[in-house]
Amino acid sequence: MNEKTIPDIVIGRLPRYLQALEHMLQQGCTVTSSKELGEKIGISAAQIRKDLSQYGEFGKQGKGYSVPFLVHKLQQILKVDRIWDMALIGAGNLGKAIAYYQGFIDHGFRVALIFDSDPQKVGQVINEIPVLHTSMMIETIQTHQIKIAMLTVPAQVAQSVTNQLIQAGVKAILNYAPITLTVPDDVHVQYIDPIIHLQRMTYYLD
Amino acid sequence: MNEKTIPDIVIGRLPRYLQALEHMLQQGCTVTSSKELGEKIGISAAQIRKDLSQYGEFGKQGKGYSVPFLVHKLQQILKVDRIWDMALIGAGNLGKAIAYYQGFIDHGFRVALIFDSDPQKVGQVINEIPVLHTSMMIETIQTHQIKIAMLTVPAQVAQSVTNQLIQAGVKAILNYAPITLTVPDDVHVQYIDPIIHLQRMTYYLD
DNA sequence: CAAAGGTTGTGTAAATTATCACATCCTGAA
DNA sequence: TTCAGGATGTGATAATTTACACAACCTTTG
Ligand SMILES: NC(=O)c1ccc[n+]([C@@H]2O[C@H](COP(=O)([O-])OP(=O)(O)OC[C@H]3O[C@@H](n4cnc5c(N)ncnc54)[C@H](O)[C@@H]3O)[C@@H](O)[C@H]2O)c1
Ligand SMILES: NC(=O)c1ccc[n+]([C@@H]2O[C@H](COP(=O)([O-])OP(=O)(O)OC[C@H]3O[C@@H](n4cnc5c(N)ncnc54)[C@H](O)[C@@H]3O)[C@@H](O)[C@H]2O)c1
């Protein structure tokens, strides 16, 4: 079934399906259809069916999909049927807000380590996690075998911090700094930048 | 030149070009090529040239592009050659971090109003902006003629707050709540959700 | 001036992505 | 049991998006 690689654009939609399905589950909805799901998230029913069919046959003709079952399958596919420990680099305004965010743990992610280079930040405890100095970063991340990092440091230092993270074995980086990172092929980067999103909308305003 | 509509996928790349070009400008670089820019942000040179050619001929053969000129043009195209006032709804952990973020003002955006429904939050001053009660939201946004809102409220109330924003005349919403919003065709929505991005990466991890 | 080197802008071909349409199957009611 | 209604999974088709290739042009150097 998994003969040829599934395009990244499909992978990008799976988390959105999962988000909507988990939301349905919370509201007690146990069965849904590609039509209903599609209307909720603004994607065509055919698209959803085709995407899911890449991984197997999860639905029942005439009936639709079992929500708990599909949630379970998507969690397996996306590998969030486990807990991923993450490192957070940069305990500033944004870093703190992220460290306190409960949404992560509800979806298979845990902020396990926090690092900062500012001696005044080091030693602070954020959401029960002590802030460590960046001088300990590489070694500590290696010891904990952490593969995911969130980067909330100033743009000027983002690349150099990234280089250290890679040295420490990190394979996935969620970067909040407004700069494109250079990484090896086996390291994945995703970007979160509100300015980019805002500019994408002002284009369409008068 | 602007005969047929330019696809949204092209619009989505323009802010990334602008980000990289502004970065170059800061570093004193005055001329660049599609090749150099492409290598910086991981997009092919041909792609960049084609995208830009949709809006005119900004480069010089044999030489490349004037960075300040291209920055100026992109700012015009994206309509960030002005200041956009924004409303921020939800003065919690994330909302506060956003209110303090200096990046907005550097790129043509200003947090002008902050709203919250919690009486304890109302009256607080965040980065010189007083938090107002949501009961005043529709009227105040209308008076200020604000067209852009950032949503940092719990998911449960995001749709109802959105309905109010639309009533107030808001045409662009940057939504941080993990839920798909239903809006009329003339209202634009962009989503920021770290979970979505993380799940997109865990797919590729072992 | 002439020639070399380099880059743009763009028509065209290729690749990717989305949509359509329908055979197939399941459910429930008569 | 049989039939109507409804939803899936998927091959075929259409649309969109990207890559290629090169003429045209600018700059610099000798
Ligand atoms: N605040 C926001 O809402 C927001 C939004 C979008 C993007 N960002 C981006 O996120 C990043 C952080 O923003 P912020 O508002 O939290 O800034 P901030 O200044 O409050 O925090 C940055 C933190 O990084 C630490 N730091 C600096 N150099 C470091 C290094 N080499 N190693 C480890 N830590 C280091 C600083 O000590 C500080 O604690 C910036 O790149 C910013 O552009 C912020
Ligand atoms: N903190 C993060 O890093 C983070 C990251 C991603 C997404 N989010 C999302 O952003 C939203 C806010 O997260 P947070 O951590 O700041 O939560 P929070 O609880 O700290 O803040 C939410 C704020 O919204 C206010 N609020 C509640 N109902 C309201 C209403 N009807 N009108 C106006 N204000 C209202 C609350 O009083 C509170 O101040 C949530 O949807 C969360 O899922 C947060």
Please return the burial class of B4, using the count of CB atoms within 10 Å of its CB with bins 0-12, 13-18 and 19+.
Answer: exposed
Taking one residue from A and the other from B, the number of pairs with CB-CB distance under 8 angstroms is 167
pLDDT of residue A92: 98
Which residue in B62, B63, B67, B37 sits closest to B49, CA to CA?
A: B37
Is the pLDDT at A195 greater than 60, yes or no?
yes
Task: State pTM to two decimals.
Answer: 0.97
Closest nt by CA–C1' to B64? C7
Chain center to CA of B181: 17
pLDDT, one tens digit per residue, over A132-179 is: 999 999 999 999 999 999 999 999 999 999 999 999 999 999 999 999
pLDDT, one tens digit per residue, over B49-73 is: 999 999 999 999 999 999 999 999 9
From B151, B153, B173, B181, the mutation candidate for ligand 2 (largest count of ligand atoms within 8 A of CB) is B153
How much is the CA Rg of chain B, to the nearest whole Å?
20
pLDDT of residue B182: 97
pLDDT of residue A106: 95
Distance from C-alpha of A187 to C-alpha of A172, rounded to nearest angstrom? 6
pLDDT, one tens digit per residue, over B143-160 is: 999 999 999 999 999 999
**In chain A, what percentage of residues exceed pLDDT 90?**
97
B20 touching chain A per CB within 8 A: yes
Q: What is the architecture of the domain spanning B3-77?
A: Orthogonal Bundle (1.10)
A77 touching chain B per CB within 8 A: yes
Reported as a pLDDT band with limits 50, 70 and 90, residue A126 is very high
Reported as a pLDDT band with limits 50, 70 and 90, residue B4 is confident
Write out which nucleotides of chain C lie closer than 7 A to a protein Cβ.
5-11, 16-21, 24-27
From A151, A152, A197, the mutation candidate for ligand 1 (largest count of ligand atoms within 8 A of CB) is A152
CA distance A61 to chain B (A): 27
Reported as a pLDDT band with limits 50, 70 and 90, residue A63 is very high
pLDDT of residue A159: 98
pLDDT (mean) for A19-29: 96
Strand segments, DSSP code E, in A50-170 are 59-60, 64-66, 84-89, 109-116, 125-126, 129-133, 148-151
Q: Where are the domains of chain A?
A: 3-77, 84-196
CA A190 to each of CA A175, A176, B45, B124: distance values in angstroms, whole numbers, following the listed order: 6, 9, 21, 34
Is the pLDDT at A1 greater than 70, yes or no?
no
Distance from C-alpha of B187 to C-alpha of B203, rounded to nearest angstrom? 32
Q: What is the CATH number of domain B84-196?
A: 3.40.50.720
Give the β-pairing of A64-66 and A31-32.
antiparallel
